[in-house]
Structure 1
């Protein structure tokens, strides 16, 4: 493999591919289905599920092509650098994505709430109290309880912090050529991510059934479920990426000098960890 990589072209340019347009079509179906699902359309869950399966199938084919090209010695140093820049910009776009939702929460709490509680708005909404969390004027939103930091969010924080440690352990094992420790570290990281998601699902069930906290529970419910829900989606995607890396490790892929797929997935996972720490403090504590 190393000999093939030494003879790699200066910059490998793949041929035309159908993967971008087919992946976009899957995302379109997933987004349309999710929007309809939130609005109670009976067909929407099926469209959302079909779109998600479509998208995952395309990703499998796309990743397979990239892996074949990499293992075939087509990727040299310039391609590796391109992948690093691409992953860096992708994570930056994800930072902006979450910044928008954190910004919405900040705006609602520190700007909109005091403005809605001033004397001018007292004429329209005399019963409105400018406090956070807020249920809005009386009779507009059903009463609900907020989600505190204990115990599930704190347990999930510990799980993600431990997953960051196990992933770092796996990375050091890869650099040292200790493949058994690499497999153990990756497996533990994926397991911790799966347990995190199980607790997240349980938290949502608890919120809906016992706290009456829903997506329709005013601005608090909207920001809570958008932030935690999208973070959970990113944890799921990160776990899938790490699972693909684990399968490749079991097949004998990666060397201490050539393992960007592992590094890219690790960058993404650590980013997800950092987002959760901000979310844990801002959403559950403050």
Structure 2
């Protein structure tokens, strides 16, 4: 008869438990889900991004009403939003590139989400164009019954606005060149074309800032100033965001994160940039050219 002491019994139980654990893991190692979608891990970034957006809007309102600390709150929200942009995009890049979680079904969902986002942006600018045409097609007596209103000296259409139009349309061509080069696996051409796009985007933003500095009116100068600065200012902000997206794509191309058939991050930035181009065409034709005739 064989006798076991307490230590032997404990070791035997431990071996049995370990073998059961290994068997359990082996059974579920090749378990396949009934869908091909990626369930993201719990993330704090949506809540932090919402907090940053709240700080930006609240800070701007307080600053415009000359409350102490309004500008500081705006700056803090802006920095927090930039931090979230970095960390959230970092997580998405990790999921797509290193964890290979972005299957075909996931990419379709991302494409649909980007399309809906651009549609929402179209509606956003539609509101500004509605306000512009509501005031310009039937100018009221308060502004002299004419458009542009009396005492307003509008921008010269054929100086900075026309130059910026050339820069932005050219950038649309160069970013398309970059996309085709990536599909053709020509990395050097992709980087070169994208570098041209970034330079043109920076030139556009710089000239837009120079135009604001030299303008003879400001946002508080009636309906014309409000419509002009809200429409062109938000467009400039979208150019800034698009520039960041293209810069991130440039860095990812340098590190070989994209292939010729899996590069939705870059493709979404291109879609966004073309949207910016189209909005600028409407702004140039209506706000700068037609409005100044």
User: What is the TM-score normalised by the length of structure 2?
Assistant: 0.84
- Select the residue among 71, 82, 85 that pairs with 1:45: 71
- Could you tell me how far 1:42 is from its partner in structure 2? 4.6
Q: How does 1:143-154 map to 2 (within 5 A)?
A: 143-154=151-162
User: Which residue pairs with 2:39 in the alignment?
Assistant: 13
For residues 241 and 184 of structure 2, what CA distance do their matches in structure 1 show? 27
User: Which residue pairs with 1:254 in the alignment?
Assistant: 258
CA RMSD of aligned residues (A): 1.6
The secondary structure found in structure 2 opposite 1:131 is coil
User: Which residue pairs with 1:156 in the alignment?
Assistant: 164
For residues 68 and 193 of structure 2, what CA distance do their matches in structure 1 show? 42
User: Which residue pairs with 1:93 in the alignment?
Assistant: 120
For residues 270 and 279 of structure 1, what CA distance do their matches in structure 2 show? 14
User: Which residue pairs with 1:197 in the alignment?
Assistant: 205
User: Which residue pairs with 1:54 in the alignment?
Assistant: 80
User: Which residue pairs with 2:149 in the alignment?
Assistant: 134
Residue 73 (1) aligns with residue 88 (2): no
Which has the greater radius of gyration? Answer: 2
Residues 83-118 of structure 1, C-alpha deviations (whole Å, 9 max, x = no match): 00000000000000000000011111224x2xx34x
User: Which residue pairs with 2:62 in the alignment?
Assistant: 36
Note the residue ranges of structure 1 that are not aligned, 5 or more in a row.
Answer: 1-6, 118-124, 136-142
For residues 62 and 197 of structure 2, what CA distance do their matches in structure 1 show? 34
For residues 281 and 213 of structure 2, what CA distance do their matches in structure 1 show? 22
Note the residue ranges of structure 2 that are not aligned, 5 or more in a row.
Answer: 1-31
The count of residues paired between Structure 1 and Structure 2 equals 257
The secondary structure found in structure 2 opposite 1:253 is coil
Residue 187 (1) aligns with residue 213 (2): no
The secondary structure found in structure 2 opposite 1:265 is helix
- Could you tell me how far 1:47 is from its partner in structure 2? 1.6
User: Which residue pairs with 2:214 in the alignment?
Assistant: 206
Q: 1:29 to 1:238 in 2, by over 3 A?
A: same
- Select the residue among 224, 234, 244 that pairs with 2:238: 234
For residues 35 and 106 of structure 1, what CA distance do their matches in structure 2 show? 27
The secondary structure found in structure 2 opposite 1:258 is coil
For residues 186 and 285 of structure 1, what CA distance do their matches in structure 2 show? 30
For residues 98 and 252 of structure 1, what CA distance do their matches in structure 2 show? 35
- Could you tell me how far 1:75 is from its partner in structure 2? 1.0
For residues 225 and 219 of structure 1, what CA distance do their matches in structure 2 show? 10
- Could you tell me how far 1:170 is from its partner in structure 2? 0.3
Residue 177 (1) aligns with residue 185 (2): yes
Q: 1:57 to 1:248 in 2, by over 3 A?
A: same
User: Which residue pairs with 2:129 in the alignment?
Assistant: 102
Residues 187-214 of structure 1, C-alpha deviations (whole Å, 9 max, x = no match): 111111011000001000001xxx2x01
- Select the residue among 144, 149, 167 that pairs with 2:175: 167
- Could you tell me how far 1:18 is from its partner in structure 2? 1.0
Q: 1:88 to 1:56 in 2, by over 3 A?
A: same
Residues 151-205 of structure 1, C-alpha deviations (whole Å, 9 max, x = no match): 0000000000110011011001000000001111111111110110000010000
